[in-house]
Structure formats: structure tokens, C-alpha cells
Chain A
């Protein structure tokens, strides 16, 4: 799987946990203030992505993320790193 295949799968996870339609995930949308994703939902999203893509994610890193686009970038970057390391 490439990084570009990743996005629809992450969208599906975020949509299932946040119960928001994936069509709303535009890059500039604010995760907390606009989508209303709170910290517990965010942690469940991270834990699910970890399991699904076999990643190590750091909650502290996520706390710096503000928009949907930044979130996808973070996951894609971790995924790429992991593949290089693995």
C-alpha cells in the first residue's frame, strides 16, 4: 500500500469513530473547533490507525495537529518512515 492509498482508509476510520461523513474531511477544516472531535475520539482514532497500519503514534504529536490536512500528513509521514525503517 502506498501513502496515497492510505488516505481513504484513514478517512473511513475517522468517519466511523467521529460519526461524521468522510465527504466533510477537507484539508483546511479544523479538527477540534469545526469537526468537534474531542480528545477521547482522537485517541480512539490514533489507536485504530496504529493497529490498522502497524504504526507507533505519539499523542503529544497529535496535540499539535490543528487541521484535517495536517492529520493526514502526520499519518502519511509516520507510515513512510515505518516502511523505510521496516
Chain B
């Protein structure tokens, strides 16, 4: 069979013209967009899982147009929620030409009935076990309408082959995503992750992760490696061996983790040595009451008072902290935007992603906001996290969007940029001095 896998065109932007203009004119925002670019690891993984004897092609619609008249026997489409509308249009167009269409990913997993209106086969959950079975079934003319991971044995990440990055080598990505672990035991109200990947962590062995990175680096010599993991340092023992292996390699990388990484200075040093240059940390809010409501087990609330000290400690190792914040949480009021700006600027965060609270299907948040009559619409292409799709007691939807822009402007403006740059200049000088004296001390103690 000839198989095409498509990642549909995605929307980054907010519908506000002011925002688009700001993005155009701010050098920092353009840099962020340059690095905030790439494709998830799903399609190269699905391609690698395809049984032998089939020809597979991948198209990233953010990079290249799909040829709807191409001769394919099977088209597989992925989608996170904001890509769903485009994914369905692609699916409809291929089905109209008689091609069998399969759809999978985070959105199809939580909205399988909706996806089934546009696809012949819907994948619910992870596809490592179900995809090979489906391809074989389809080749024998017995494909089913739904393949649900729940009907298969648990996914073993070590049995997943190295992703087919070669199929994406035609694109010039600044970042290549790989995945070391999956699953999350936490239960943040707005998040869908645990519904899709389960509540238990599972890990890919360090050797396999190294193989994935080696394969990626074969095709993109200079790309940074981004980790798709929701919390890369969930197990400190595992992360230590990961980082040790990376130290012997040549690449720089970033990942998502929680702030507790700051508790271990030895690990921070090892992180820097291994090429880690940025950590994305979900602070979510600067308001304690919001934190109390967000996470049932109150983990983030307990860390709250330590945020400034921990950020300082991580960054002192030459690792930039990129914070994520949500605007539109229940307790947010007109003070909130300035508080977020102050937090980011005062703590010299290297960068920040601020988003508007979005009730993604499959989240507890959505159930609650629907029950409260606060979800404005289900036009998924506006679920970009930069558009307001909710009613809030203190802000109109337009205000949420204009306040979001205000926060970005408060963070990325010439004065704060200069201050941040001065701060990081100082941090780097201190780091270099500290390293030099450590080296001297080591030389003395070995009698060199």
C-alpha cells in the first residue's frame, strides 16, 4: 500500500490584529516563533511502526501543501484540538476520492464520535500496538472503524522502533522532538494528558533515547532536541542516567519539568554539562487561590513560595527558565496581568508563554465550564490558547485577548529585554568564574 501521513496546518495566532502586529514587530517574538516550530514525534513513530512492504510518506502542512490527487491507498491524519478542523477537511477530501482515511492523536482520542464522521478508522489513545494491527487488517480488507489502545496490552516504549526521521529530512526544522517518557500521575484540571497517555509513568530506556537522538542528528546536524515529555524529570534516577548519556554526545536540548529540579544542584550542573539550555516550567499562575483550585493534590501550591529562589538557582547554571502562565483562571482579576508581568520580569525569566485558559475536550475543566454555561463555542480552530473561548466573571473575551497582548508587551519590550540581557550577561560571567575556580581547585587537589 502507499501510505500518506499528514500533520495538518496549525494555527498559532490570536485573531486580534494588535497581536499579529506585535508578533511581526517584536524581534523576541519572532525568535520564539522560530524555535516554537517543528512537528511532534507521532507521525515518524507511526511510520516506523508500519509493517514492511508499504511505502510511507509524511507531509507537514505547516511546511508543504498536500497533493489531494496523489495516489494513496491509506491516509493517516494526526490532530491536536486546534488542528481538528483542518484535519477533517483533509480527511473529507481524501475520502471523496475513495481513499481509506485513519485519524488519531489527542483530539480523536477524546472526541472519537466526532472524528468518525470524517474518517473510516479512528484511533483512540496510543497507537504503538494498534497501528501495525490495523495496517495488516486493512491490507486484508478487514479494517475496523475503531482501534482503541484499551483493547491492546499496555504500550512498552522500549519496543517502539526509532522514529522515521528520514521521512521528515526534507524540512529544515530548528527543533526535533523526541520522547523519553509518557504518562502523568497529576490531575491538573485543564490538562488532557493523563486521559490520553494514562496516569502511570512509562520510560524508554536511555539507550533507545540515545538511538533516537543519533538518528535525528543524522538528518539535522544543528537542530536542538526538544523533549515531548510532559515532565522529563519525573524519575530522578532515570533522568540522571539520561543526562549522563547526553554528556558524552554533542547536542543541546530543552525539556518540560517541574520546578523541584532546583532542589538538586549537582543535577543542575550535570544538566548544563549535558547540553540542556532551557527548561519549560508550568507556573500557571501568580495567585495562590488559583493554584489551590488547579491541582487536586496541591503540589504546585506547596512549591509556590520557593519559586523565586528556585528560578534563580536553575538560571545560575546557565539554563534559562521559560515559564508558562494561564490567564483567565477563576480568581484572576484586573490586577492579574500586571502581577504576571512583574513575576516574569522580577525573576528574570528567560522567556514566558502566556495562554488563555482553554477548555480542551477531555479535560475536567471543560466539564465544569460547560456545566457553568461558560464555554462560548466549539470551533476548534480557535482553540489555540491565544484566543478566548470562555466567559469569565471579571473579563469579557475581548478583554482576555487584549490583556494577553498587554502581558506579552510587558514582558517583551526594549526595557525589559535590556534588563534580561544584562541579567543573563551577569549570570554567564558568574558561571564562567565559578567554573574557572572549580577547575583550579580540582587541579590543586590532584596536585597538577
Residues of A within 8 A of B223 (CB): 36
- Docked-complex contact B428 and A46, CB < 8 angstroms: yes
**Chain A residue with Cβ nearest B320:** A40
- Docked-complex contact B252 and A44, CB < 8 angstroms: no
If the complex has contacts A24-B222, A51-B432, are A41 and B252 also in contact, measured as CB distance less than 8 A? yes
Complex formed: what's the CA distance from A40 to B433 in Å?
16
B436 within 8 A of A: yes
A50 within 8 A of B: yes
A21 within 8 A of B: yes
Interface centre among B31, B34, B424, B431 (most CB of A within 10 A): B424
Complex formed: what's the CA distance from A40 to B322 in Å?
12
A6 within 8 A of B: no
Q: Return the contact of B436 from the options A32, A41, A51 (Cβ within 8 A).
A: A51
B235 within 8 A of A: no
Complex formed: what's the CA distance from A43 to B318 in Å?
9
Q: Return the contact of A50 from the options B31, B251, B320, B429 (Cβ within 8 A).
A: B429
A48 within 8 A of B: yes
Complex formed: what's the CA distance from A50 to B429 in Å?
9
Q: Return the contact of A21 from the options B250, B275, B320, B427 (Cβ within 8 A).
A: B250
Chain A at the B interface: SS class = helix
Interface centre among A35, A46, A47 (most CB of B within 10 A): A47
- Docked-complex contact A43 and B425, CB < 8 angstroms: yes
Q: Return the contact of B251 from the options A19, A41, A48 (Cβ within 8 A).
A: A19
B297 within 8 A of A: no
23 contacts between A and B (CB under 8 A): A18-B252, A19-B249, A19-B252, A24-B221, A24-B222, A32-B31, A32-B34, A33-B174, A35-B222, A36-B222, A38-B224, A38-B277, A39-B421, A40-B320, A40-B350, A40-B428, A41-B252, A43-B425, A43-B427, A43-B428, A46-B428, A47-B431, A51-B429
Binding site for A on B (CB under 8 A): 31, 34-35, 174, 221-224, 249-252, 275, 277-278, 318, 320, 350, 421-422, 424-425, 427-429, 431-433, 436
A1-33 to B contact mask, C-beta < 8 Å, 1/0: 000000000000000001111001000000011
Complex formed: what's the CA distance from A50 to B433 in Å?
11
If the complex has contacts A19-B251, A39-B421, A59-B421, are A44 and B428 also in contact, measured as CB distance less than 8 A? yes
- Docked-complex contact A36 and B174, CB < 8 angstroms: yes
Complex formed: what's the CA distance from A3 to B54 in Å?
57
A34 within 8 A of B: yes
* 3 tightest A-B CB contacts, nearest first: A47-B428, A43-B428, A47-B429
Residues of B within 8 A of A18 (CB): 252
Residues of B within 8 A of A36 (CB): 174, 222-224, 252
Complex formed: what's the CA distance from A72 to B208 in Å?
38
Residues of A within 8 A of B275 (CB): 19
Complex formed: what's the CA distance from A46 to B427 in Å?
12
Complex formed: what's the CA distance from A35 to B172 in Å?
12
Q: Return the contact of B250 from the options A20, A32, A44 (Cβ within 8 A).
A: A20
Q: Return the contact of B222 from the options A20, A50, A51 (Cβ within 8 A).
A: A20
Complex formed: what's the CA distance from A34 to B223 in Å?
8
- Docked-complex contact A44 and B318, CB < 8 angstroms: yes
Interface centre among A39, A50, A51 (most CB of B within 10 A): A39
- Docked-complex contact A38 and B250, CB < 8 angstroms: no
Q: Return the contact of B424 from the options A35, A40, A48, A51 (Cβ within 8 A).
A: A40
Residues of B within 8 A of A38 (CB): 31, 35, 224, 277-278
Shortest CB-to-CB span from A17 to chain B, Å, is: 9
- Docked-complex contact B432 and A44, CB < 8 angstroms: yes
Residues of B within 8 A of A39 (CB): 31, 421, 424
**Chain B residue with Cβ nearest A49:** B432
Q: Return the contact of A47 from the options B34, B251, B421, B432 (Cβ within 8 A).
A: B432
Complex formed: what's the CA distance from A59 to B428 in Å?
12
Residues of B within 8 A of A48 (CB): 428, 432
**Chain A residue with Cβ nearest B27:** A63
Q: Return the contact of A33 from the options B34, B432, B433 (Cβ within 8 A).
A: B34
**Chain A residue with Cβ nearest B319:** A40
Q: Return the contact of A40 from the options B221, B318, B432 (Cβ within 8 A).
A: B318
Shortest CB-to-CB span from A50 to chain B, Å, is: 7
**Chain B residue with Cβ nearest A38:** B277
Complex formed: what's the CA distance from A59 to B429 in Å?
12
Complex formed: what's the CA distance from A34 to B278 in Å?
19
Interface centre among B222, B251, B318, B431 (most CB of A within 10 A): B222
- Docked-complex contact B424 and A43, CB < 8 angstroms: yes
Residues of B within 8 A of A41 (CB): 252, 277
Shortest CB-to-CB span from B279 to chain A, Å, is: 11
Residues of B within 8 A of A59 (CB): 421-422, 425
Residues of A within 8 A of B252 (CB): 18-19, 36, 41
Complex formed: what's the CA distance from A20 to B427 in Å?
22
Extra contacts, 19 of them, besides A39-B421, A40-B318 (Cβ < 8 A), are: A19-B250, A33-B174, A34-B222, A35-B222, A36-B174, A36-B252, A38-B31, A38-B224, A40-B277, A40-B320, A40-B424, A43-B424, A43-B427, A44-B318, A47-B425, A47-B428, A47-B429, A48-B432, A50-B432
